Chain A
Amino acid sequence: SAVISQKPSRDICQRGTSLTIQCQVDSQVTMMFWYRQQPGQSLTLIATANQGSEATYESGFVIDKFPISRPNLTFSTLTVSNMSPEDSSIYLCSATPGTGGLDGENIQYFGAGTRLSVL
């Protein structure tokens, strides 16, 4: 398994500003992911954070709005840029240890999330 530490746990931000969320894993992991969860809804994948290369973004999410870094195998950041009230959500970091699903087992472990409110 993997223990994920995510910070900040919550923040209230002004429109037009940016917030960087940090995600630290207690061991080296193959894959790291960033999700968004709107109230009462399921998890939506924003992007996969690739170590040493650019993140892979899902449809509807772009690098200019959600720049991601992954400088090593245990750490990643997600920045929410030029925020608007529509960005108010819970942002979650997850990680997959081992072979990242190549052996069939594909368990993701999650941080506690960052609850973001944009005024």
Chain B
Amino acid sequence: DQQVKQNSPSLSVQEGRISILNCDYTNSMFDYFLWYKKYPAEGPTFLISISSIKDKNEDGRFTVFLNKSAKHLSLHIVPSQPGDSAVYFCAASEFRNYQLIWGAGTKLIIKP
């Protein structure tokens, strides 16, 4: 049972344009959501998170949107840069549960 789904294995975006990565979840008990970026031969790096009491969180070029009724979140990267090329993982957790449930990841390719 896949509780966190990233349905796009890969995404290709032109440099300077907006990248939108999507994530869906099925567990209504999830109340904290995170995005990680992973380069080859490195561990995942925390990017941005959002609590279920918010619908938007912004940090520089990165914005995460949460739609609780649709059980959907998205990560927007504006403008996209070549260094953004990586695999992006969505993760979620329940309140007072330290475990993270991970999506399968989306490989983002930024074209020059």
Contacts and interface: CB of A to CB of B under 8 A. Distances in A.
Is the pairing of A and B real?
yes
A113 B42 contact: yes
Nearest to B46: A107
B78 interface: no
Contact of B31 (A42, A43, A104, A109): A104
Contact of B102 (A4, A43, A102, A106): A43
Contact of A104 (B32, B42, B44): B32
- Interface size classification for chain A: 20 to 34
Given A42-B102, A42-B103, A104-B95, A110 B45 contact: yes
B49 A102 contact: no
Given A42-B89, A42-B105, A106 B41 contact: no
B69 interface: no
A31 B23 CA distance: 26
A45 interface: yes
A109 B44 CA distance: 8
B41 A107 contact: no
Given A42-B103, A48-B98, A101-B96, A110 B44 contact: yes
- Interface size classification for chain B: 20 to 34
Given A104-B31, A107-B34, A96 B98 contact: yes
Contact of B43 (A30, A31, A45, A110): A110
Given A42-B104, A42-B105, A101 B98 contact: yes
Contacts of B99: 45, 48
A4 to B, nearest CB: 7
B85 interface: no
B46 A41 contact: no
A90 to B, nearest CB: 9
B70 to A, nearest CB: 22
A108 B89 CA distance: 13
Interface of B: 31-32, 34, 41-46, 49, 51, 89, 93, 95-100, 102-105
In the A-B complex, the 3 residue pairs with the closest CB atoms: A110-B43, A101-B98, A106-B93
Interface of A: 1, 4, 6, 30-31, 41-43, 45, 48, 92, 94, 96, 100-102, 104-113, 115
